[in-house]
Amino acid sequence: MPSKSQPAQTSARTKNRAPTRIQQKNRAAILGAALDVFSAQGFRGATIDQIATSAGLSKPNLLYYFPSKEAIHNTLLAGLLDTWLDPLRAMNPAGDPLQEILAYVHRKLQMSRDYPRESRLFANEIVQGAPRIHDALSTDLKELVDEKAALISSWIADGKLAPVHPYHLIFSIWSLTQHYADFDVQIRAVMNTQDPFDDAPEFIDTLYRRLLSPP
């Protein structure tokens, strides 16, 4: 005779069971569609119906995987912030200072080329006051930027870089590289058929090399 604990145990096993291939596919489709919708409409302008239609799923089917628009948005942002910090984490204290910063610039520019939707999603969140990632900005992001700013300051003190404000240097790299994703429509309207990423790496490399090369 089954014990009274069996239904609870069965429920726990079902809850912890690895998702099937179709479940993984649907979840990925929802997140991909949501990235399109959120990056274009912003959080406030996006709707569950828009995301479901873009994902090719019914609204009830979508809600099986995510209970709300907020849950989808938070899932995207959680993965995005970590990805966004990786290029700065990769700055090596043991490397050549100028080359390390130039490599960081190129990694950020490549992210704008490869992940324009993610960049616009992040920008939309920041413009709205970062209500869903403010804590992470004040902890994970701040701690990492403080660490790398201190590293840049030490390189400057050792005469390996020209004197610059380390925080504003990092901010300028963010704004310059992410501009190519966040303002892609404007850039391509001006440049017409020319791919802006063809010449951007050389220009940005020259800009920061001249700024940072020690006298």
Q: How many CB atoms lie within 10 A of CB 69?
A: 20
pLDDT tens by residue, 117-148: 888 888 888 888 888 888 888 998 999 999 99
- CA–CA gap between residue 106 and residue 113 (Å, rounded): 10
What domains can be seen in the chain, in order of their start residue? 1-67 (1.10.10.60), 69-215 (1.10.357.10)
Residue 63 has what pLDDT? 95
Residue 170 has what pLDDT? 98
83, 72 in Cβ contact below 8 A?
A: no
Contacts of 177 (CB under 8 A, 6+ apart): 105, 108, 109, 111, 112, 204
Query: Is the confidence at residue 56, as pLDDT, over 60?
Result: yes
Query: Is the confidence at residue 213, as pLDDT, over 70?
Result: yes
Query: Is the confidence at residue 116, as pLDDT, over 70?
Result: yes
Structure tokens at 205: 């490399």
What's the mean pLDDT when you consider all of the chain?
Answer: 89
Query: Is the confidence at residue 7, as pLDDT, over 80?
Result: no
- pLDDT band at residue 198 using 50, 70 and 90 as cut-offs: very high
Residue 16 has what pLDDT? 58
pLDDT tens by residue, 86-95: 999 999 999 9
Q: How far is CA 117 from the centre of its chain?
A: 9
Residue 8 has what pLDDT? 46
